[in-house]
Amino acid sequence: MEAISVEELTKKFGRVYALRGATFHVERGSVTALLGPNGAGKTTTIKVLLGLLRPNSGRVRVLGMDPWREEVEVRRSIGVLHERPVYPGGFRVRDLLEYVARIRGLNADSVDRALRLTGLGNHGDARVSSLSRGYLQRLGIAAAIVGDPEVLLLDEPTANLDPAARMEILDLVSLLSRELDVTVLVSSHIIPELERICDHAILISEGRVVEQGNLRELAERYRSSVILEVKVDEPRGLASRLMSMDGVIGVEILEGGLFLKVKSDRIREVEEDLMSSGLSVTFRTSSLQDIYTNVVARDANISG
């Protein structure tokens, strides 16, 4: 089932088109990347989904509702982290989240859970002004999940963070998708990092959706390398054998397993070989940067 459905969405500001007939779908329970460079239309898309902007044309449904006509109902079911959130620095963290909860008609229990899930449990009494940039993003995500939303919209959640803080936020998003069973749509122009957490992708360029799908399908379609996870008790002994396999271009040893980087044209053969040996193999992710580069090149050729 679809949590979000967008068909032929157009939005313009004066004579400038931000979205040009964009069409995409987000499956319930997925973690979907909305990928594209700055100015591609990502933030405009999120604002339309929230009912903050009225489209010029097209059909938009969030959980089966029109966000412009049914904005109150939609916003009750959505949590959002905007690209550049601003918070009152004099508030304490807990006080700010309790204020958010009261607006939504919720009790303090939802605040306790949000603090715990986002790693802010020991920062409830801290002033917002004292938080680092990474912890301000955690605060924004905590505010977004108060009340257990069905859909979580995150607009550039790792922007302006250092590499360590970016990885912490991405790991937090992955945790929330599992713990809350929430549908996540996360936008970014930093394409490679989202392959850590996403299972679907929507690629947008100049206001047009140029490709979408789950990562495995996209990897096979655009000949992108993939990462397979192999569960095994003694990974070091297996690693040297796998490095000599045709199609394997990298091995990372983990506790209780391995990550294999595999060429796109050898995915099925490598999987079958491993499973025939009794090993557990799981598709983890594909190179979103490879996919995006190939999609943009294809789109340029078609346009030209």
- Tens digits of residue pLDDT in 108-150: 788 999 999 999 999 999 999 999 999 999 999 999 999 889 9
Q: Which domains are assigned to the chain?
A: 2-217 (3.40.50.300), 225-286 (3.30.70.1340)
Maximum alpha-carbon separation in the chain: 63
Indicate if the pLDDT at residue 17 is higher than 70.
yes
CA-to-CA dists, residue 77 to 32, 33, 70, 153, 217, angstroms: 18, 20, 11, 11, 30
Indicate if the pLDDT at residue 190 is higher than 90.
no
Q: How many CB atoms lie within 10 A of CB 177?
A: 20
Q: How many CB atoms lie within 10 A of CB 106?
A: 15
Q: Which of 33-47, 107-121, 196-210, 212-226 is the least confident region?
A: 212-226
Report the alpha-carbon distance of residue 185 to residue 200 in Å, rounded.
Answer: 9
With DSSP H G I counted as helix, E B as strand and the rest as coil, what are the percentages for the chain, rounded to 5? 40, 30, 30
pLDDT digits (tens, 9 = 90+) for 162-179: 888 898 999 999 999 988
Indicate if the pLDDT at residue 58 is higher than 90.
yes
Indicate if the pLDDT at residue 231 is higher than 60.
yes
